[in-house]
Amino acid sequence: MKNIAKILIIILLIFPLTGCWDATDLEELLIVYGLGIDISRENPEQYLFTVGFPTIIPEAPEQKHEVSTESPSLGRAKSNLQQKVYRQISYDNIRVVVFSEEVAKKGILVHVDTMLREPLYRGTTRFAVFIDRTEDLLAMKPPVSLFVSNFLFDSIEQNYQATTVPISTLRSFSHEYYTDGIEPSMPFICYGADKTELNVGCVALFRGDKLIERLRGRNSRGFMLLKGEIHRGIYTFELMGGFVSINLKGGNSKIKTKLIDGQLHIFHDIFIDSVLSEHTPKHEMLKTEKIEDLQAQLADEIEKDLRNVLEVLQDELKNDNIGYGKYVKANHPEYFDAENWNYQFSKAIIHVNPNVRIRTLGVTP
């Protein structure tokens, strides 16, 4: 009996080791943090794929390195890149995939499809569009991070929480692309004051898999409010001869649709919770009617921003990046036309109604 017990203990000790027999040692991997995709300078039919990764060799002159290869496809590029490096490439830790504006205008589905077919990339890997060449972007050294990919990942998160840009991942882009009644969107990265500074505060709008426009400034925030992505962020207005700022504290939206005499009406109520963080006009704010009047004025100003965004989407682009079509499809399947929804969207009457609720006024009257 004792011998049987010993044998069982040995088996239990050895069994966990069998699951790792083909595991690759971490020191044998080249861990990629960022992937950039450009159009080749020499051949417009080819792409330039660039990966950024850390160098773990102590005597390496740099702590990070970038390798590029030209290829007609991402699948071929992975093979080419593997031949150029000294370790097995691991794509499991890619934080961002950045498409140049030129690539995004041409269409990105060919690359997204490759990522979906072979599970080398996390579904949470973030997508973004860059105004310039991504090979130059990945070579940058931001002042607060060794890897620009980490900087971009964190900056996208911060701007998402500030209600400025959406978060687009492999999963979410694919969902918006393949779902009737909504067009994709993702962060658009611009330069700041010069080409050493990055601005992640714009929104890239897609029709299908092609970039068609970008929103910036208050239009970016208006877009996020229409999407119902209301988080935090400072919203400043010129009112009553001074400046009024509110700090967003979340919110939600409700969308209803009606067909009235054959005309599609979309009723969009947006509820915004906030804290009064700045109020330079010289009058007291503690009276209920003063607070209600300020809330109404703020709602009027925000409505202007929302109308500006809707004018771009409905009149200029005829492109539903908000996703109203999903509600129309569910509520009026006999009316909804998947192939022509963007045209139907451009003709819809949208009643947008923002409601601002100031929760606290701060410490001064």
**Predicted local confidence at residue 342, as pLDDT:** 98
CB atoms near residue 349 (< 10 Å):
12
Locus of tokens 């088996």: 11
67, amino acid identity: V
pTM, two decimal places: 0.88
Residue 213: what residue type?
Answer: E
Contacts of 277 (CB under 8 A, 6+ apart): 234, 245, 246, 247, 362
Contact at 8 Å (CB) between 88 and 95?
no
Between CA 128 and CA 137, with CA 132 as vertex, the angle to 5 degrees is: 70
Can you name the residues that pair with 243 across neighbouring β-strands? 238
Beta strands at 96-100 and 29-31: parallel, antiparallel or unpaired: unpaired
Nearest residue to 203 (alpha-carbon basis) of 192, 213, 195: 213
Tokens representing 52 are 């950024």
Distance CA 312, CA 302 (A): 16
The Cα–Cα gap between 109 and 188 comes to: 17
pLDDT at residue 363, as a whole number: 59
Spell out the per-residue pLDDT of the chain, length 365, in tens: 555 554 545 554 554 555 444 444 445 677 888 999 999 999 999 999 999 877 655 555 556 778 899 999 998 998 888 888 777 888 888 889 999 999 999 999 999 999 888 766 777 889 999 999 999 999 988 776 668 888 999 999 999 999 999 999 999 999 999 999 999 999 999 998 888 889 999 999 999 999 999 999 999 999 999 999 999 999 999 998 899 999 999 999 999 999 999 999 999 999 999 999 998 887 776 677 888 999 999 999 999 999 999 999 999 999 999 999 999 999 999 999 999 999 999 999 999 999 999 998 865 55
Sheet holding 242-260, edge to edge: 234-239, 242-260, 263-279, 349-360
Strand partners, 128: 98
- Domain 229-365: give its CATH superfamily: Nutrient germinant receptor protein C, domain 3 (3.30.300.210)
137 to 45, 154, 342: CA distances (angstroms): 22, 16, 34
Rounded distance, CA 111 to CA 118, Å?
11
DSSP code of residue 169 = B
User: Which tokens sit at 318?
Assistant: 């005829």
Annotate 277-340 with DSSP letters as a single string: EEE-SSS---SHHHHHHHHHHHHHHHHHHHHHHHIIIIIII----S-HHHHHHHH-TTT--GGG
Q: Convert 160-194 to b/e letters by CB count within 10 Å (16 or more is b).
A: bebbbbbbbbbebbbebbeeebbbbbbbbbbeeee
The token pair that represents 283 in the structure block: 């009058």
Give CA–CA dist 279/297, Å, rounded.
13
